[in-house]
C-alpha cells in the first residue's frame, strides 16, 4: 500500500494509494463552515444537554472540531457502521460497533463527516428510534444533495458539494488521508 505523497511546496495535487486528488476546499473554508454549524447547534440545544453520536471513523475530526466550538453542555457516544469500499458506496450498511449506553429519552445529534446517499443516516436513525430517543438531528461537515435518496431532514450542514469522491478532514480513501487539513477531490482518470 502506497502512502500519501505530500508535495514540498504544498502542491494542490496529491496521490493517495492508487488515486490522484486535487485540493478542493481549504482549511480556512472548512473552519468557517464548522463555525456556522456550531452556532446553529448552540442555538438549537441552548436549553438541553444533547448526546453527540459520532459515526466512526470519519466523523472524529469534524466532531472534535465542532465540540471545541460548542458553548453548551453535551454528552458523547459513538457508533461504527460501514458502507464504502474504495470510492463507491456498497448500498449496504453494516453495523460494526453498535450503540454504547442507554439513550432512551435523550436528544441525539448524529455527527457525520459526509452525507451522500443518506443510507447510513437512515440506518442509524432507525436504530435510534428503536432506542426510544426523544429526538434525532444530524450535523454533517459535507452534504451531497444530488446523491441524497431519503426524506429525513439534514439539520446542520457545513458545506454542500457535488457528487464527487472527496478525501481529507476525516474522510478517507482505503483508510488513508483522514489527517489532511484540507479537503481533496478525486481526479477523474
Banded pLDDT at 101 (limits 50, 70, 90): confident
Q: What is the pLDDT of residues 131-163, one digit of tens each?
A: 899 999 999 999 999 999 999 999 999 999 999
**51 in a structural domain:** yes
Given strand 166-167, what is the order of strands in its sheet? 13-16, 19-25, 183-186, 166-167
Q: How many domains does the chain have?
A: 1
**52 in a structural domain:** yes
* Alpha-carbon distances of 91 from 7, 32, 106, 122, 129, rounded to whole Å: 35, 31, 29, 12, 21
Place of cell 494542490: 12
Residue 84: CATH number of its domain: 3.40.50.2020
**16 in a structural domain:** no
Average pLDDT over residues 99-103: 75
Instruction: Determine the structural domain holding residue 142 and report its residue range.
Output: 30-176
Place of cell 478525501: 167
pTM for the complete prediction?
A: 0.86
**170 in a structural domain:** yes
6: three-class secondary structure by DSSP: coil
**23 in a structural domain:** no
User: What is the pLDDT, as a whole number, of residue 75?
Assistant: 95
Catalytic site positions: 116
Average pLDDT over residues 54-68: 94
Amino acid at each position: 500500500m502506497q502512502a500519501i505523497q505530500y508535495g514540498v511546496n504544498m502542491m494542490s495535487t496529491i496521490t493517495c494509494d492508487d488515486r490522484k486528488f486535487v485540493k478542493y476546499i481549504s482549511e480556512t473554508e472548512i473552519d468557517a463552515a464548522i463555525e456556522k454549524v456550531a452556532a446553529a447547534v448552540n442555538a438549537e440545544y441552548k436549553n438541553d444537554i444533547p448526546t453527540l453520536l459520532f459515526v466512526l471513523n470519519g466523523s472524529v475530526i469534524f466532531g472534535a472540531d465542532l465540540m471545541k466550538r460548542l458553548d453548551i453542555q453535551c454528552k458523547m457516544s459513538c457508533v461504527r457502521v460501514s458502507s464504502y469500499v474504495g470510492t463507491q458506496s456498497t448500498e449496504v450498511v453494516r453495523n460494526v460497533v453498535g450503540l454504547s449506553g442507554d439513550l432512551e429519552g435523550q436528544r441525539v445529534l448524529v455527527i457525520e463527516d459526509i452525507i451522500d446517499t443518506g443510507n447510513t443516516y437512515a440506518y442509524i436513525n432507525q436504530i435510534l428510534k428503536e432506542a426510544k430517543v426523544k429526538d434525532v438531528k444530524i450535523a454533517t461537515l459535507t452534504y451531497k444533495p444530488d446523491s441524497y435518496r431519503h426524506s429525513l431532514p439534514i439539520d446542520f450542514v457545513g458545506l454542500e458539494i457535488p457528487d464527487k469522491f472527496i478525501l481529507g478532514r476525516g474522510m478517507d480513501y482505503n483508510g488513508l488521508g483522514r489527517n489532511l487539513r484540507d479537503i481533496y477531490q478525486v481526479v477523474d482518470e
